[in-house]
Structure 1
Amino acid sequence: MSGFIGILAPRLEKADEELLDACTVVIASCCDDYSGAWKSNHIDLRFGWLKTCEDTEADQLPFTIDENLRIVGDVRLDNRTELIKELGLYFNTISNSIPDSYLLLYAYKHWDEDCLQHISGDYAFAIWNEKTNYLFCARDHFGLIPFYYTQLENRFLFTNFYHSLKAVPNLMAELSDEVLRDYLMTGTNRSFGHTIYKEIKKLPPAHKLTCKDGKIEVSCYWEIPTRIKPIRYKTTKEYVSHFYSLFEKSIKDRTRTNKVACSLSGGMDSSSITATAKNVLRDRYGKDHTQVSFNIGYKHLVNENEGYFGKLIAKHLNVPIKQYIAEDYVKNIAEPLTNWIPEPAAVPDATAEAQILLDAAAFSRVLLTGFGGDPLFEYEQRSRERLIAQGHLAQSFLDDMEFYRTFGHFSGINIKQWLMKLIRKTPAAKYPLPYWFEPDFFPADYNPYKPNKDGTSIRSYFAMYGNPFWGWLFETTHPGFTGQKIKIRQPFFSLELLLFMLALPPHLLYQKSLLRMAMIPYLPDEIVKRPKTPLYGSPHSQNLKNKDILDTLEQQLLESEDFFASKIDIPSLLKELRNPDNSSASYKNMLIILQILTWRACKS
């Protein structure tokens, strides 16, 4: 993992250098394995390295090939082997030990900006051409690595390290109403291109940014393909084999170290990753590896069995497990923040996840999680429409029949829904707003959960690129946000894996059938056959009913009337706070407000 920051100006001045000095101190406090810098008359580039892979000893940035092009970045490539083979035909300095960021710069030198059509993985980077005074930047397909930027008069400042921007005077003075509105309603930033600060923007996933003579241009370089050649094998075994090979490769690409931490919830997603990581580490390092799993359970706030299933899997795999009781942390929801965070995400001290990051970082720089399993296996009905549009009408019919033969019913929309769509157009659903929200701040047609621009579901595999929640999640768990010396990696967010899933018939995705079949040799039967079981209730909402916490929230609201003016009707909300018949939805909204107030109290 690398932290980088740079500033571009018509001509750099001493004040620019001093500003970056302050920002770099913040980066170096986390990325302390190596630091690097390079500057010319127009640009100053800084870099801090947190080593996450054993094969990147030479990864020291800024790197140059020809004393003209230079790169800084946070780069981990999936398709290293293919790139090394192809680029090795043109550059004799490329070897198997070349760091990913160096390889990316060679790709840029060979393909120019089309290099983005040849790479995949987790990355955000900036490439500077000293000869042409041209800056080229990009963020990966899923937004796994953040990229922030702002303009300071005639200067362009960019970084992947959110914490470093706190050192810039007045940059965080004004909030964005658009983003604050989404935070108040959903607890997340639903914007692809904006942070909660009006002056700080972020590059959306699968976008590139160029800067030349002060002119900034942002454009999309990739979208989910509209034409996918269907994959139809003769036997289920062939599907399982192909899937597992891609899944295993994704985990191999993300675990180039013999010390790996794994989140282990007890469900199929994290269990599959933990089991496959065990196989990868054993095959690569033999007994010379360490793997530890982390599990969160509840005692009384909600009813769930994650602790039991976590222990079951860990014992089966012979992987040590450390378990956390969520209530030990949830109770801290109203306590002041011990560390500043850039945006009002979940209160770190009130989540066991924050403690897991701290504990895992004590022995590893890599933590694998199962995020992405749900959308990756959520079939999108428009995939069927696209199949027909490509002339595969017969194949679409055969897929429907295979689904019916396997599960006894058809996938997606049922016959009744289909008939109703023919009779009348379904009215657009309105998103319910709490009555204490001021209507002028929340328009009547406000809906934070907008469908993808192509009309596909924000829950399906199309949403892995199209749902802003994922980019926000990756941004708020990046070391540049948390300050923790550990990188969270998401094996399900693999471009190669996604493109494979897009080409499959729906019966293999339903209830994660393909994943379950692939894991039969590696997981206990009780896990493979376990249906998806969401939490029965909201633990934070249940906890919010605590009188001491309600008292704290009431006091903070009274002290924040100016901040919430024209946004929330404080008297109405205070009345609702003491309503014994509150719904869980009301408590959820109150919890979000408490998180914002806690963040705001620490913002300065």
Structure 2
Amino acid sequence: MCGIAGFVDASIKPGAGEELIKKMLFGITHRGPDCSAHWSEFPVVLGHNRLSIIDLVDASNQPMHYQDYVISFNGEIYNYLEIKEELLKMGFQFSTHSDTEVILAAYKAWGEDCVKRFMGMWAFAIWDKVNRVLFCSRDRFGIKPFYYIFGSGVFYFASEVKALKHSPIFNGQINNRQVIRLLQFGWADYKDETFYESVKSLPEASNLIFKNGKIEIKRYWDLSEKQIISEGSFEERKEKFKSLFEDSIRMHYRSDVEVGAALSGGLDSSSIVAVAANMFPEKTIKTFNIFYEGSGAVDERPFVYELAKKYKNIDPYYYSPKDDELLDALDKVNYHQDVPVPGSSAISQYFVMKMAKGNNVTVLLDGQGADEYLGGYMHTFNRMIGSQLQNKKLLKALKLLQLHKKEHGLPGKEAAMVLLKSFYTASHNESGIYNFDLKRIKPLLNRKFKDMSGLM
């Protein structure tokens, strides 16, 4: 990852602006230890902390210039080589081998629509010197963070909230609506809201244009039902998924530094590592696993052993954090997360990343996010069964319920509760479902928090 920061603020004097961007970047140094730099043409200032992944030379440091454009970019465009080839045929020239320069050339070629061609994860800001426009964008699923503050015609942005706390227009007032969402649902964000009233998060799959002291946010992509349900038999759809899955891993391996993997032993990470090991038999793949001993032990190493036994190019590493390490890690994780941590997985991830860094691995593949789009959570089944009920396919709904009951060993009472929730989801939209849950905690809230309006 890299760290981006910047602002457009005519009230800041050049000298003060230089000091301000340095403070913003220093707060997120951990995101990019390889190079920290900034560019200014007041009232515009862009800053960048680089973690070098592609084209490791200094010429690919940022902020990067391309004709009349300057960019600060965090992420990776996996299909940059294909886009670059298309741009070369159009007559564009390049002085680096980076994906950053491809973004700039693509923006010059296609304007705001360039992001529709990108496959990857990104958060960036491009300053157009001629048209005096700041063009910002975030990837389709919001993998890369983009926070901002806007008010009185000025605009500040950064990869993390802690960098924005240096902004003169930052307001530390807590957003109580988000606090309630965290306590009830475990949500760290919601739409464009954060835990601070003054700080917003650019929604996933969205562009933000700042011009003449005003902002405009446009959604450039959405997931339609036609994109989810493909035609053909189950076997044909299975092969299509397999092809896309393999293609994704092949593109994720585009890197000029060593690529490893977080390997919990679960279905998601094991599938990724197995495909990568088979796809790149000439590469040694370092994998990293955290396990816990003692009371409440969690140890999935046996599953990793089986994978390492089958694929000889897997080089597994293991670590079990001690109690005192966990306590120390909690403070560090809370600092880096910038928000209250709703669960323990972030702490385990911290030790995985620490172990990878200690073994000189900069890029990790892992199964994070698979449950979200492959229906891996228990509450997902309420929606799946509910959608069948909504379409008046009762037998199919009951069949799904039986499969769910058998797979998870649910007793009859719990299965009946799943069915009741499914009927509820069939007759209510998502906001209605969540508002129903929120009403259950209303008696527990004090008078200050009892107004639940605006939560959904």
Letter in 2 for 1:34: C
Tell me the TM-score normalised to structure 2 length: 0.78
Q: 1:271 to 1:295 in 2, by over 3 A?
A: farther
Q: How does 1:478-489 map to 2 (within 5 A)?
A: none
Partner of 1:309: 303
Q: 1:335 to 1:76 in 2, by over 3 A?
A: closer
C-alpha displacement at 1:51, in angstroms? 1.0
Q: 1:232 to 1:425 in 2, by over 3 A?
A: closer
Q: How does 1:396-435 map to 2 (within 5 A)?
A: 429-431=436-438, 432-433=440-441
| 1:212-252 C-alpha deviation (Å, 9 max, x unpaired) | 1111112222111243495444682x544433332122122
Separation of aligned partners in 1, 2:345 and 2:322: 12
Please say if 1:355 is aligned against 2:351: yes
Separation of aligned partners in 2, 1:312 and 1:272: 13
Contact map agreement 1:333 1:347 (CA 8 A) in 2 = no
Partner of 2:52: 51
Partner of 2:449: 441
Q: How does 1:54-69 map to 2 (within 5 A)?
A: 58-66=59-67, 68-69=68-69
Partner of 1:498: none
Partner of 1:214: 213
Separation of aligned partners in 1, 2:232 and 2:163: 50
C-alpha displacement at 1:187, in angstroms? 3.8
> SS in structure 2 opposite 1:114?
helix
Letter in 2 for 1:256: R
Contact map agreement 1:34 1:60 (CA 8 A) in 2 = yes
Separation of aligned partners in 2, 1:444 and 1:92: 54
Contact map agreement 2:333 2:350 (CA 8 A) in 1 = no
Partner of 2:110: 111
Separation of aligned partners in 2, 1:92 and 1:231: 37
| 1:252-291 C-alpha deviation (Å, 9 max, x unpaired) | 2223345233222222111011212223443xxx25x442
Q: 1:300 aligns with which of 270, 295, 299?
A: 295
Higher-RCO chain (CA-CA 8 Å, sequence separation at least 6):
1
C-alpha displacement at 1:49, in angstroms? 1.1
Contact map agreement 1:47 1:62 (CA 8 A) in 2 = yes
> SS in structure 1 opposite 2:89?
coil
Please say if 1:185 is aligned against 2:184: yes
> SS in structure 2 opposite 1:127?
strand
> SS in structure 2 opposite 1:371?
coil
Contact map agreement 1:333 1:349 (CA 8 A) in 2 = no
Question: Which residues of structure 2 form unaligned runs of 5+?
Answer: 376-380, 406-414
C-alpha displacement at 1:197, in angstroms? 1.7
C-alpha displacement at 1:156, in angstroms? 1.3
> SS in structure 1 opposite 2:226?
coil
Contact map agreement 2:272 2:366 (CA 8 A) in 1 = yes
> SS in structure 2 opposite 1:351?
helix
C-alpha displacement at 1:353, in angstroms? 2.4
C-alpha displacement at 1:52, in angstroms? 2.4
Q: 1:435 to 1:297 in 2, by over 3 A?
A: farther
| 1:79-98 C-alpha deviation (Å, 9 max, x unpaired) | 22431232222134159x63
Please say if 1:41 is aligned against 2:38: no
Letter in 1 for 2:82: E
Contact map agreement 2:330 2:347 (CA 8 A) in 1 = no
Letter in 2 for 1:332: L
| 1:539-575 C-alpha deviation (Å, 9 max, x unpaired) | xxxxxxxxxxxxxxxxxxxxxxxxxxxxxxxxxxxxx
Q: How does 1:483-498 map to 2 (within 5 A)?
A: none
Separation of aligned partners in 1, 2:58 and 2:42: 30
Q: How does 1:278-289 map to 2 (within 5 A)?
A: 278-282=277-281, 286-287=282-283, 289=284
Tell me the TM-score normalised to structure 1 length: 0.60
C-alpha displacement at 1:61, in angstroms? 2.1
Letter in 2 for 1:374: D
Q: 1:421 to 1:310 in 2, by over 3 A?
A: closer
Which sits farther off after the overlay, 354-363 or 337-346? 337-346
Please say if 1:145 is aligned against 2:144: yes
Partner of 1:470: none
Q: 1:350 to 1:235 in 2, by over 3 A?
A: closer
Partner of 2:327: 332
C-alpha displacement at 1:168, in angstroms? 3.8
> SS in structure 1 opposite 2:75?
strand
Partner of 1:555: none
Same amino acid, percent of matched pairs = 26
| 1:132-170 C-alpha deviation (Å, 9 max, x unpaired) | 211111100000111111136543111224442344468
Partner of 2:367: 370
Separation of aligned partners in 2, 1:384 and 1:216: 38
Contact map agreement 1:126 1:136 (CA 8 A) in 2 = yes
C-alpha displacement at 1:123, in angstroms? 0.4
> SS in structure 2 opposite 1:227?
helix
| 1:336-379 C-alpha deviation (Å, 9 max, x unpaired) | 66973422225889933222221212211112221222233338
Q: 1:55 to 1:30 in 2, by over 3 A?
A: closer
- Give the root-mean-square deviation of aligned CA atoms: 4.1
Q: 1:235 to 1:280 in 2, by over 3 A?
A: same
Letter in 2 for 1:376: Y
